[in-house]
Amino acid sequence: VSPQVNLVEEIQRLKREKNAVILGHFYITPELQDISDFLGDSLALARKAQETDADVIVFLGVHFMAETAKILNPDKKVIIPDLKAGCSLAESAPKEAFAKFKAEHPDHKVISYINCTADIKTLSDVIVTSSNAKKIVDSFPEDAKLIFAPDKNLGNYLNSQTGRDMVLWDGACMVHEKYSLERILELMDENPDAEFIAHPECEKPVLMVAKYVGSTTALLNYVQQHEAKKFIVATESGILHQMQKACPDKVFIPAPSIDSTCGCNDCTYMKLNTVQKLYLALKHERPEINLDADTIEKAKAPILRMLELS
Ligand code: 13P
Ligand code: SF4
């Protein structure tokens, strides 16, 4: 790209020319958050993807989110700036291994976290996000046999919140499983006026010391609605940009990782999205997300069930 091109202006121009909408997740860089037409958590993004009348959806997030948008809009063009923007959770559940696991648990309904591939969605009865997971698990009869995949940490948390004993697939988010309980406790000691809040993808010991546990949107709402002036936040640090914008007078400290060489945990997949790649993707309308009709049909049913139930 020539250095003369003003990328942000060009992105706006291309967007109008192509009737495109830019949907972004809270974990992308602050610069990309500010360029997005709509920013949200996984549930809000799925809803927005369902409602949009744009011809082209540009997804600033990761691959499974763009796939969800395509499943909900098979006739629209869905593009993503970097196809390598994957997700450790989604990758933890390959289709064949998961199909075998499902076959080993006959009579079980499959509840899958939206952070999974389209293939896993085709094997699921219902999809959930961290915003609606408890409500959807609660909607099953008490004696229902349930599998929860692919996040064992969210699954454990849901078991504790609902009194269920769901069978868990052994997957985890590489960002949220790396928070250091020891360093968080030290930080809490150093900042007695701070409230510690966490995303349910974190491990159990971390969640046990959190004052509040919720999805990215729920955490963002919490810091606005609660009096505390300081928060230690255990989720990907991109959300801090929105927290700081909403509460300029409050202090937000990213929770520390077990990896002492970095202050916080960034999702390297989310951070593969850049302004330059967004510009090129919009200009050339690729990389494009394409799924076969059978996958779309089978994956759509559990997503629509989620949207109805939440
Ligand atoms: P939510 O924004 O739905 O809480 O999801 C978090 C996440 O890990 C997305 O990858
Ligand atoms: Fe996947 Fe974790 Fe990155 Fe979210 S933060 S996209 S769950 S690896």
Q: Which residue has the higher pLDDT, 262 or 66?
A: 66
- 265 close to ligand 1 (CB < 6 Angstrom): no
Render pLDDT for 81-101 as a digit per residue (tens, 0 to 9): 999 999 999 999 999 999 999
Say if ligand 1 is within 6 A of residue 42 CB.
Answer: yes
- 153 and 180 in a single domain? The answer is no
Q: What is the pTM of this model?
A: 0.96
Backbone angles phi, psi at 31, to 5 degrees: -60, -45
Per the annotation, where are the binding residues?
25, 42, 87, 113-115, 130, 173, 199-201, 216, 267
Strands (E), 137-221: 146-149, 167-168, 194-198, 212-213
- Nearest bound ligand to CA 89? 2
Reply yes or no on whether the pLDDT at 202 is more than 70. Answer: yes
- The tens digit of pLDDT for each residue in 126-137 reads 999 999 999 999
Residue 236: closest CA among 252, 222, 224, 260: 252
Domain of 99? Answer: 89-173+299-309
Instruction: Establish whether this prediction's ipTM goes over 0.95.
Output: yes
Asked if the structure places residue 125 within a domain, the reply is yes
Mean pLDDT of all residues in 63-78? 95
Q: What is the pLDDT of residues 146-159, one digit of tens each?
A: 999 999 999 999 99
Q: Kindly state whether residue 146 falls inside one of the protein's structural domains.
A: yes
Ligand 1, atom 7: closest residue by C-alpha: 42
Query: Residue 104 in 3-state DSSP?
Result: coil
* pLDDT at position 1 over 80: no
Q: Is residue 283 one of the residues assigned to a domain?
A: yes
31-55 burial string, b = 16+ CB within 10 Å, else e?
ebbebbeebbbbbbbbebbeebebe
Binned at pLDDT 50, 70 and 90, residue 260 comes out as low
User: In the prediction, which pLDDT does 5 show?
Assistant: 75
167 lies in the same domain as 184: no
The 8-class DSSP code of residue 74 comes to T
